[in-house]
Amino acid sequence: MALPSPEQLANCDSEHAHQVAVFSWAAKNECRYPELRWLHAIPNGGARGDDAHSSGILYICLPVARGGFFGFYLELKKPGRQGKLSKEQKAFTAFLKSENYAAMDCAHWKTAIEYIEWYLQQPKTGA
C-alpha cells in the first residue's frame, strides 16, 4: 500500500496536518536535497511544566548554513493564520534574525516547501 501524499496528509487543514505534509515531502526529497535529512521539528506545545523554556520557539528547524545565514527556522500556522505569531514567537524571531538565522512563518505546507527550497538553493554560507 502506498504512503499518503502530502496533499492527502494536509487534507484536514489543521496545523499538525500541514506540518506532517512538510515532513512527508522532505522524506521523499532527501535524494534531491540531502540536507533535508537534518530537518526536524521542535516540540513546544502541550503540557511542559512550570520550568519549560521552549515557549515561542519556532517549530521547524533546518540547521544548514545558506545565503549568509547560519540556519533556517519556520513556523507553520494553521491555514489562514499566517502572521499570527505569539508575543514569544515574535521575540524569538527577532532574536534569530539578530543572530543571522533565517526565520519565516507561513500558513500552508506548499508555502513552507517553497521557503525551504528557496533557502536550500542559496549559496553555502562561508563557501
Q: Which residue has the higher pLDDT, 11 or 30?
A: 30
For 73, left (φ over 0), alpha (ψ -120 to 50), or beta? beta
Residue 8 has pLDDT above 70, yes or no: no
Q: What is the DSSP annotation of 57-95?
A: --SEEE---BTT-S-EEEEEPPTT-TT---HHHHHHHHH
pLDDT tens digits, 64-97: 999 999 999 999 987 776 668 889 999 999 999 9
Q: Residue 17: its pLDDT value, please? A: 86
User: b/e string for 10-23 if b means 16 or more Cβ within 10 A?
Assistant: beeeebebbbbbbb
pLDDT at 93: 95
Domains in the chain (CATH in brackets) are 14-43+55-120 (3.40.1350.10)
φ, ψ for residue 65, nearest 5 deg: -90, 120
pLDDT, average across residues 47-53 = 52
- For the chain, the straight-line distance linking the first and the last C-alpha, in angstroms and rounded, comes to 43
Mean pLDDT for 102-113 is 93
pLDDT above 70 as % of the chain: 79
How far is residue 60's CA from residue 19's CA, in Å, rounded to a whole number? 9
Instruction: Supply the pLDDT for residue 3.
Output: 60
For residue 81, what pLDDT is reported? Answer: 65
Could you tell me the CA-to-CA distances from 55 to 18, 39, 42, 50, 95 in Å, in that order?
21, 20, 11, 11, 14
Please spell the DSSP secondary structure of 94-113, one letter per residue.
Answer: HHHHHTT-EEEEESSHHHHH
Question: Which amino acid is located at 93 in the chain?
Answer: T
